[in-house]
Amino acid sequence: DMKIFVSSFAEVLCYLLCFLNLFSSSMCATPYKFFSTKTPYAWVHQSSISETVEDELYYLKELKGMSCSAVHANAVIRHGSRFPGFDDVQRISSIHEQLLTVMEPNINPDLYNWVNKFPSNNNKVLSHVGELEQEVLGRRIAKKLSTLFAEEEPSNFRFIVSSQERTKQSASAFYEGFSSAIYGAEESDNNFDYEVNDEVMRFFGLCAKYVYSVDNNKTAFDEYYAFLSNEKLIQIKEKVEKKLDIKGDVLTTANVRMIYMTCGYETSIYGSSPWCSLLEEADMEILEYLGDLKHYYKNGFGYPITWQQSCPLVSEIFSTMDETIMDIENAEEDGGVEGFLVGQFAFGHAETLGPLYSALGLFNDSEPLKSDNYDNHKHRLFRTSQILPFSANIMFILYECVPDEFGEDEEIEEADYYLKLLVNEEPKLIPGCEEL
Cα dihedral: 307, 312, 313, 317 (round 10): 130
Helix pair angle (253-270, 86-100), 10° resolution: 110
What is the C-alpha to C-alpha distance for residues 145 and 62, in angstroms, rounded to an integer? 17
Supply the pLDDT for residue 63. 84
Supply the pLDDT for residue 8. 44
Q: Quote the number of domains for the chain.
A: 1
Supply the pLDDT for residue 198. 98
Q: How confident is the model at residue 185 (pLDDT cuts 50, 70, 90)?
A: confident
Query: What does residue 67 show for φ and ψ, rounded to 5 degrees?
Result: -110, 115
Supply the pLDDT for residue 187. 62
Check if the beta carbon of residue 168 is closer than 8 Å to that of residue 161.
yes
Supply the pLDDT for residue 7. 40
Is 160 within the bounds of a domain? yes
Check if the beta carbon of residue 227 is closer than 8 Å to that of residue 371.
yes
Supply the pLDDT for residue 413. 66
Residue 269 has pLDDT above 50, yes or no: yes
CB atoms within 10 A of CB 150: 13
Residue 173 has pLDDT above 80, yes or no: yes
Is 20 within the bounds of a domain? no
Is 14 within the bounds of a domain? no
Is 134 within the bounds of a domain? yes
Lowest mean per-residue pLDDT among 2-6, 93-97, 319-323: 2-6
Supply the pLDDT for residue 120. 83
Is 23 within the bounds of a domain? no
Find the mean pLDDT for residues 186-192: 64
Q: How confident is the model at residue 19 (pLDDT cuts 50, 70, 90)?
A: very low
What is the C-alpha to C-alpha distance for residues 206 and 180, in angstroms, rounded to an integer? 36
Find the mean pLDDT for residues 358-373: 97
Check if the beta carbon of residue 145 is closer than 8 Å to that of residue 55.
yes
Helix spans in 193-252 (H)? 198-201, 208-210, 222-228, 231-244
- Those residues whose C-beta lies under 8 Å from the C-beta of residue 287, and which sit 6 or more positions away, are 233, 236, 256, 257, 260, 279
Is 36 within the bounds of a domain? yes
Is 360 within the bounds of a domain? yes
Supply the pLDDT for residue 262. 97
Q: How confident is the model at residue 65 (pLDDT cuts 50, 70, 90)?
A: confident
> What digits encode the pLDDT tens for the residues 296-336?
999 999 999 999 999 999 999 999 999 999 998 887 666 55
E-assigned strand segments in 153-214: 157-161, 195-196
> What digits encode the pLDDT tens for the residues 111-148?
999 999 998 877 899 999 999 999 999 999 999 999 99
Domain with 192 in it: 29-428
Helix (H, G, I), strand (E, B) or coil at 257: helix
Find the mean pLDDT for residues 393-408: 87
Using DSSP bridges, classify how beta strands 416-423 and 393-403 pair: parallel, antiparallel or unpaired.
antiparallel
Q: How confident is the model at residue 188 (pLDDT cuts 50, 70, 90)?
A: low
Q: Report which listed range, 27-41, 190-204, 213-227, 326-340, is most confident.
A: 213-227
Share of the chain above pLDDT 90, in %: 77
Q: In whole angstroms, how large is the CA radius of gyration of the chain?
A: 23
Q: How confident is the model at residue 1 (pLDDT cuts 50, 70, 90)?
A: very low
What CATH number is attached to the domain comprising 65? 3.40.50.1240
- Those residues whose C-beta lies under 8 Å from the C-beta of residue 397, and which sit 6 or more positions away, are 57, 60, 70, 72, 73, 74, 145, 419, 420, 422
Residue 6 has pLDDT above 50, yes or no: no
What is the C-alpha to C-alpha distance for residues 392 and 134, in angstroms, rounded to an integer? 10
Q: For the chain, what is the mean pLDDT?
A: 89
**Cα dihedral 407, 72, 46, 189 sign:** positive
Q: How confident is the model at residue 338 (pLDDT cuts 50, 70, 90)?
A: low
> What digits encode the pLDDT tens for the residues 145-164?
999 999 899 899 999 999 99
Residue 412 has pLDDT above 70, yes or no: no
Is 9 within the bounds of a domain? no
